[in-house]
Amino acid sequence: MLETPKKFTLVSGSAEGPSRLNAFDNALLAAGIGNVNLLRVSSILPPKAILVPHLEIIPGQLLPTAYGTITSDLAGEKIAAAVAVGIGEEDEYGVIMEFSGRCGREEAEETVAEMARAAFAQRKRTLKTVLVQSAEHQVESIGCAFAAVALWY
């Protein structure tokens, strides 16, 4: 059984690349998590998880992440990705919501924050804080926007 993460951080980045995968990889590098192996997780923040400015990770490690990403090869298109963390009572779990779309940063942030509010309402819980992180990108050739909540031990 895997250990429950105790820390989390929000990261984002955007970049161009010669291929869709290279654009994604470059966006990960811009976000500061390009040299790890992402484990995509669903959207629950463990109870008592602590927000940290960055994670002490080494290349090749497995990193649980909840993320939104979008890649486009339509020159001139504006794309954005965002994540939101909804936090309630200190001893309770939180929620993580992800969004990506053909829109700007502001729309992505508003959308993902509303998703966090809706998730708390559905659970009939009191929301105290919403943290949001996003990336916007104007596509030149092949671009990617990426935003994530990375969880760590």
What residues act catalytically? 37, 42-43, 98
**Residue 142 tokens, joined:** 């092949």
CA distance 18 to 143: 9
What is the amino acid identity at position 107? E
**Residue 106 tokens, joined:** 């502001």
Eight-state DSSP code of residue 28: H
What is the amino acid identity at position 102? R
77 contacts: CB under 8 Å, gap ≥ 6: 102, 138, 139, 143
CA distance 8 to 65: 9
Per DSSP, the chain holds a count of helices (H) and strands (E) of 2, 9
CA distance 102 to 11: 20
